[in-house]
Structures are given as C-alpha cells and as structure tokens.
Amino acid sequence: MDLVIFPNPTSDKLNIDLSVLNNKKATIKIVDVTGKEIRSIEIQSVNEKTQLDISDLPKGNYILKVISSGEVISNNFIKQ
C-alpha cells in the first residue's frame, strides 16, 4: 500500500492522499531523520485528501507516518 504525498519537496503545505485507508480514523506522525517525533495529529474522520501546514518546520528531510487499524504506511518528504 503506497502513501501519496505532494508536492514533494514543499515549503508550506503537504497534501496526503488517504484514499488507501479503509478506516475512518488515523494518526499522522511527522518524524525527523533521527527518529524524533515532531508532530502527531489524530484524524477522526478521514477524507480522501488531507492537507497539513508544515510552514513552521525547519528545512530538512522528514518521514510522514500514517497509522490506521494497526497498519503503518510511511513516505519521505523534503521541507524546503
């Protein structure tokens, strides 16, 4: 199962395509390259497309993890 995020790289907004999820609830985590959790967001009602404001994050490489029904889907993104 692939997690589609765009645009990548980005400077302010990150769009996440959650249509791959069968569940209506999910947790989105942003993790830096050292494994430190930067942000955790609980989503109670999953829309097919979700947008995150990441304008406050420092420039760098990150991992976006989506956890739903015990499954973890992840993808890398670059904050410019």
d(CA 27, CA 38): 13
0.85 exceeded by the pTM?
A: yes
Q: What is the pLDDT of residues 8-50, one digit of tens each?
A: 999 999 999 888 787 778 999 999 999 999 999 998 877 778 8
Residue for token digits 């406050």? 56
Domain annotation for the chain: domains and CATH numbers: 4-79 (2.60.40.3080)
Is residue 1 within 8 A of residue 40, CB to CB? The reply is: no
d(CA 58, CA 70): 30
Q: Is 33 left (phi over 0), alpha (psi -120 to 50) or beta?
A: alpha
User: Quick one: tokens of 54?
Assistant: 């990441």
